[in-house]
Structure 1
Amino acid sequence: MTDQRPAPAAPAAGLRERKKRRTRDALLRAALLLFVSQGYEKTTVDEITDAVDVSQRTFFRYFANKEEVAFAVQDLAESHFVAALRARPDAEGPLEAMRNAVLASWDTIGEAIAEVVPVDLYMRTYRLIESTPALLAVHLRRSTELEERISLLIAAREGLDVDADPRPRVAVAAFSGVMRVTGRLWGQGEDASVAAIRRMTEAYLDQIGPALASDWR
């Protein structure tokens, strides 16, 4: 008779994966708390690992460097926005779809990151990125890469060849420019809440049309 009993290795494998996830998340939270409390450049990998009571070897098993830690939650937030954009109805035009997607992603940001870090810590980290020259330079480079990813998505939504038709990249450039202004001004303001950046995002995106008008008077 064939033995139909399940293999016993699966639960153990699942337990190991959960332990790895807990260790990675603990390192991430510890690093971000240190970054926002004492500064990104002043924080060392040793301080991060000491806070979690693990070795440097363990840290580098999960992250290549401090920069990767600093942008780990930003990766989640950007993927959340892209998913929201993919879910927009086909009837929406490109700028409308991007506007609605970014507002929806701010409304539901907790769903994307709360299991990893508190939303408040993410917002403080976002401000840190905006105010730290080394991180801001990386953020701008990453933003360029994200723009291309969004341009390809917009082109696919509209049934266009992104290399033959410049409109997807132009529309995304306009959208991204507004988002950069919003992030910078929000980072300089007193209110660091999600509600504040959402309000500013909506207000500034609504100015794209008027800003492109031929007569501002």
Structure 2
Amino acid sequence: METLRELKKRRTREALLRAALELFTTQGYEQTTVDEIAEAVDVSQRTFFRYFAGKEDVAFAVQQTTEAAFVAAVRARPPQEAPMQALRQAFLEGWDAIRETVESAVPVELYLRMYRTIDSTPALLAAHLRRSAAAEETIARALAEREGVDVDADPRPRLAVAVFGGVIRVSERQWSTSEDLGLESIRTLTASYLDQLGSALTGSWRAG
């Protein structure tokens, strides 16, 4: 049961997160200061830093939570599943939990706007790529642990995650430029691209 103190802290964090993303997406990431974010919620700068290390931390807070949920889903997959199947099913079957994580933190429309802001802001895009590499390493280590192999001696966990991560990036890029920007559409698109992975890697692309 959440105590009153815990509830207040959670609501303050959520308010800071939403205010930050709203400011980032309307006036620009570089143009937004921590003071402005704090002022939007009527708290002090000191209070902001109790919840977030800085602007980059708050910009990627939702993604960090969804990545943690995905790693947990990978670890929870049945042991008989092949590694790539485990990654696929962790994403597809865990999608409702991932979506709920997003929706409980910020409005979906704001999340989608922030995604585009990251893509169009050099500093954020660089941070996104750096964080994605770190996340892939975490997933590779989780996969290696699941399969009982040494991630530093066996290249397969990192290779599998690199391929899977590539599919996710291609899906995100296609999704962000499409007309249908609903969260369910990226799940459908990713499932379609994952289904085409085998033929893309090993099949012939030429007709006839």
Distance 1:189 1:68, change over 3 A: same
Amino acid corresponding to residue 44 of structure 1 in structure 2? T
- Which of residues 37, 40, 61 is equivalent to 1:51? 40
In 1, distance between residues paired with 2:75 and 2:47?
36
| 1:128-143 alignment runs, 5 A limit | 128-143=117-132
TM-score by length of 1: 0.86
In 1, distance between residues paired with 2:141 and 2:8?
37
- Which of residues 167, 173, 180 is equivalent to 2:169? 180
TM-score by length of 2: 0.89
Corresponding position of 1:90:
79
- Report % sequence identity: 63
| Unaligned stretches of 5+ residues in structure 1 | 1-12
Output the aligned Cα RMSD: 2.0
- Which of residues 79, 88, 95 is equivalent to 1:99? 88
In 2, distance between residues paired with 1:88 and 1:130?
31
| Residues 1:198 and 2:166 aligned together | no
Corresponding position of 1:71:
60
Alpha-carbon shift at residue 108 of structure 1 (Å): 2.9
Distance 1:120 1:89, change over 3 A: farther
| Unaligned stretches of 5+ residues in structure 2 | none
User: Deviations for 1:125-171, whole angstroms, at most 9, x for unmatched residues?
Assistant: 22322232211111111111111111111112222111221111111
Distance 1:117 1:205, change over 3 A: same
Corresponding position of 1:4:
none
Alpha-carbon shift at residue 173 of structure 1 (Å): 0.8
Amino acid corresponding to residue 192 of structure 1 in structure 2? L
Greater C-alpha Rg: 1
- Number of aligned positions between the proteins: 206
| Residues 1:111 and 2:100 aligned together | yes
Distance 1:199 1:118, change over 3 A: same
